[in-house]
Amino acid sequence: MKRTLFALVTFAVGVSAHAALPGDSAQGKRLHDANCMGCHNTSVYTRKDRRIQSLDGLHQQLNDCSHAAKVKFVVEEQRSVVKYLNEQFYKFK
């Protein structure tokens, strides 16, 4: 019983932490797939030596990549891409 309750609380905290990020994950996925996959695939997010170690680092890397790729994301699009990447790969709180 205690394990089940702990698992539920842990899950709820994780969901609320991800939900707390502004943006739309579905839009973020579409933007990511259309603009980011030309340079790399999703393995860069899951490799053991990945460069991104924080939510701030994720925001900065998106800015750096979009600048290098000459992609202009408006603020809401940036938030959506960060939300998608964090929910799918990074899981920062």
Q: Has residue 16 got a pLDDT over 60?
A: no
19 confidence band (pLDDT: 50, 70, 90) = low
pLDDT at residue number 15: 45
Cα–Cα dist 63/1, whole Å = 45
pTM: 0.78
- 30-85 per-position pLDDT tens digit: 999 999 999 999 999 999 999 999 999 999 999 999 999 999 999 999 999 999 99
User: Could you write out the three-class secondary structure of the chain?
Assistant: CHHHHHHHHHHHHHHHHHHHCCCCHHHHHHHHHHHCCCCCCCHHHHCCCCCCCCHHHHHHHHHHHHHHCCCCCCHHHHHHHHHHHHHHHHCCC
